[in-house]
Amino acid sequence: MKIEKCVQGGAGFARLPNGSVCFVDGALPGEVVEIKVIEKKKDFVKAGIVKILEPNIKRRIPPCQYYGKCGGCNAQYAEFELQIELLRQIILDLFSRTAKISLPQNFEIHYGAEWGYRCRAKVFFQMRGSNTIIPVEKCMILSKKLNEKLKEISLTKRVRLFDNQSEFYLGKHIYADESVFFQNNLQLLPKLIDEVRRAAGKGKLLLDIFCGVGLFSAFLQSEFERVIAIEQNPLCQKFAEKNLGKNCAFYTTSAEEWLGKNAGILSDACVLIDPPRTGISNEACDILCKNKTGKLIYVSCNPATLARDTRKLLNCGYELTNIQGFAFYPQTFHLEIMAVFNPSCT
């Protein structure tokens, strides 16, 4: 069969002779492949490639010797230029179907080096889908320092590695360690911060929801009279207190609880929200819809839930005024997105 396109997660999309949707792992657009059905569902089937009869001209042999065994990368078979274009087409298609809007065909995706970019990682020395131990001598996507640490680790342990170079890349020290979330790609992180800072502008109040260790607030606090940072994970507090200034208040609570008690101040605030992969909860989204913010900046690690939430926000009177992609994880089909929403003037 011929592969029509790639979808969220990277699988190739095609249709069986009977019209059924088929997702083919590892296939690229335009390819003609011989497949084997692996799993049948009510509305679709999953398949693997038996043989590539007509390959995409930008298909390559995965450069990493561990590819296919390690679970860290899933896009090495596509040249990096093609990876970025596939991400763009996936987002355009996703937003057309889920958010019911057409993004610009030249939707911008920012990216950096395709190798040696990762400064934070969870390491599992196990073969994909099994308990077999795989001794990894060097990982092509890890930073030089993390590869040095990799040599010191026992193969029987699952560990978190963190190389906090943030003072070098960002111009100031941001306190964090391996116990809390922090962006993995410090080469690209300054670009995201710059775009968030540009979108936020200046104002009286910034609400930084799902703030983590206060990364964004640390760079925006000088532009606002007050900053309120909300993060449910208590482990983040000790770092946030070091990263945030005197005009910042940090609350260890859920987004829903804090918004529910303080909805009245949203209209005067620039709200920055960086939720987990599940996106904004129905409760939080309802509050944001009933109490329009001065501006809403949504940093998403999951385009699917962002597209879903975009439709909700548009339905309740917001306008999407800016959207950009950030390829923080080269060699994967993962994309982070910054979207900016303003209350509609109508």
pLDDT score recorded for residue 315: 96
User: Is 27 within 8 Å of 12 (Cβ atoms)?
Assistant: yes
Options 3.40.630.30, 3.40.640.10, 3.40.50.300, 3.40.50.150; which CATH number does 86-111+183-343 get? 3.40.50.150
Give the start-to-end residue ranges of the domains of the chain: 1-57, 86-111+183-343
pLDDT score recorded for residue 200: 97
Number of H helices, E strands in the chain: 9, 15
Does the domain at residues 1-57 carry the CATH identifier 2.170.270.10? no
Supply the angle between the helices 303-315 and 80-94 in degrees, to the nearest 10.
Answer: 30
Among 206, 267, 258, residue whose Cα is nearest residue 231: 258
Which of the 8 DSSP states describes residue 142? B
| CA atoms of 175 and 240, how far apart (whole Å) | 8
Q: Which residues of 196-233 are buried (b: 16+ CB within 10 A; e: fewer)?
A: bbebbeebebbbbbbbbbbbbbbbbbeebeebbbbbbe
Task: Record the tokens describing residue 211, joined without a space.
Answer: 């703030």
User: Is 161 within 8 Å of 150 (Cβ atoms)?
Assistant: yes
In the chain, % helix, strand, coil (3-state, to 5) comes to: 30, 30, 45
Spans in the chain with pLDDT lower than 50: none
